[in-house]
């Protein structure tokens, strides 16, 4: 589904990703762990198409297509979703408005009819209930004045509505208490299926108790330095990153 080969990325002449490799097959859950500043968010943003990051070498294929050739909105329509580490606040744009626009853009891309208001409202209500999100969150401006936990849950809510093929969750667990963490994990687990993959970026092994990865990768200084099964997460928990 996703293949990242020897990816080099720089910002302002500073190299951040230094030959990144990762292959994700349909239905798999991969976890990327690594210390602060190792380049995890950079990878996530590059996958989503952020233009401030310059790809200097390497390639990224997604479902057979050259991902780097696509605009961010095309990537989203192709099925990529990024849950931002720092979701952006957009005052004046209602959450529900963004979601409906996004969903309908995706439907249009697939030559489907736009969803009617009522249909959308019904869909949104169902998903919100499961995530324990208050309905007035829909009417509020996108992320504006949301608490840290609300922002993270809102990202998962968007993911549920947009039903991506590949979801990249960038530290969606940070700042969540254990109850919120379980809700978020449930939101992810309920979406698992054989055609959908996840890349779960996290700092802590904690989340992986709830979202069980098939593979764990350790990222240090812009590269994957070790890959393994979920037991690697426990090893990291004990030893820290110092050994890598």
Partner 1 sequence: MAIVFDGTRESYVERLSEFLDSGQKDAPEWITTLRREAISGFAKLGFPTLSDEEWRFTNLEVLRRGSFSIAENGISGVSKKSVDSYGFPGLDCLRLVFVNGRFASSLSDTRDAGKEILVKSLSEAICEQGDLVKDHLARYADYEKDAFISLNTSYFEDGAFVYVPDGTVFEKPVHVLHVSTDEGHPLFINPRNLIIVGQNSVAKVIEHYVSASQSVYFSNVVTEVVCGENANLEHYRLEFESQKAFNFSTLRVNQQKNSNIASHSVLCGGAIVRNNVHPVLGGEGCNSDIYGLFISEGRQHMDNFMRVEHASPHCDSRQFYNGVLDGRSKGVFHGRILVHEGAEKTDAKQTNRNLLLSDTAQIDTKPQLEIYNDDVKCTHGATIGQMDEEALFYLRSRGVSMRQAKIIMLQAFTAETLEHMSIDSVREVLEGVVMKWFEQRLQNGKGK
Ligand X SMILES: Nc1ncnc2c1ncn2[C@@H]1O[C@H](COP(=O)(O)OP(=O)(O)O)[C@@H](O)[C@H]1O
Query: What are the beta bridge partners of residue 169?
Result: 83, 200
Q: Does 36 participate in binding ligand X (rule CB under 6 A)?
A: yes
- For tokens 């393994």, name the residue: 228
Extract the tokens encoding 62.
């997604």
CA–CA distance, 186 with 59 (Å, rounded to integer): 33
Interacting residue with ligand X among 6, 11, 147, 239 (CB under 6 A): 11
- Binding segment for ligand X among 32-40, 96-104, 180-188, 189-197 (CB under 6 A)? 32-40
Q: Are 85 and 41 in contact (CB under 8 A)?
A: yes
Nearer to ligand X, 10 or 104 (CB): 10
Cα–Cα distance, 19 to 17 (Å, whole number): 6
The verdict on 50 binding partner 1 (CB under 8 A) reads yes
Minimum CB distance to ligand X, residue 190 (Å)? 26
Number of CB atoms found within 10 A of residue 116's CB: 10
- The span of 3-11, 59-67, 89-97, 176-184 binding partner 1 (CB under 8 A) equals 89-97
Binding ligand X (rule: CB under 6 A), the pick from 13, 51, 52, 88 is 52
DSSP 29: E
Distance separating alpha carbons of residues 201 and 217, to the nearest angstrom = 10
Contact status: 213 vs ligand X (CB under 6 A): no
Using the rule CB under 5 A, is 41 a contact of Mg ion? yes
Any idea what DSSP says for residue 146?
-
Residues in contact with partner 1 by CB under 8 A are: 48-51, 71-73, 75-77, 81-82, 84, 87-93, 97-99, 101-103, 105-106, 109, 141-142, 158, 162
């Amino acid at each position: 589904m996703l293949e990242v080969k020897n990816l080099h990325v720089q910002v302002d002449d500073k190299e951040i990703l230094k030959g990144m490799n990762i292959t994700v097959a349909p239905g798999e859950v991969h976890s990327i762990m690594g210390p602060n500043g190792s380049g995890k968010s950079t990878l996530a943003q590059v996958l989503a198409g952020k233009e401030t990051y310059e790809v200097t070498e390497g390639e990224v294929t997604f479902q057979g297509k050259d991902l780097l050739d696509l605009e961010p909105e095309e990537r989203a329509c192709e099925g990529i979703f990024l849950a931002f580490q720092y979701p952006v606040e957009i005052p004046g744009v209602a959450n529900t408005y963004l979601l409906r626009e996004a969903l309908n853009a995706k439907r249009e891309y697939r030559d489907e009819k736009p969803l009617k208001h009522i249909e959308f409202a019904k869909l949104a209500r169902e998903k919100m209930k499961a995530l324990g999100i208050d309905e007035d969150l829909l009417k509020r401006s996108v992320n504006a004045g949301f608490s840290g936990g609300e922002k993270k849950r809102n990202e998962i809510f968007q993911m549920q509505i947009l039903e991506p093929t590949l979801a990249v969750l960038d530290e969606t667990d940070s700042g969540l208490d254990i109850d919120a963490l379980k809700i978020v994990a449930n939101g992810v687990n309920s979406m698992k299926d054989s055609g959908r993959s996840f890349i779960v970026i996290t700092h802590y092994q904690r989340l992986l108790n709830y979202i069980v990865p098939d593979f764990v990768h350790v990222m240090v200084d812009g590269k994957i330095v070790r890959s393994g099964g979920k037991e690697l997460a426990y090893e990291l928990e004990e030893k820290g990153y110092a050994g890598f």
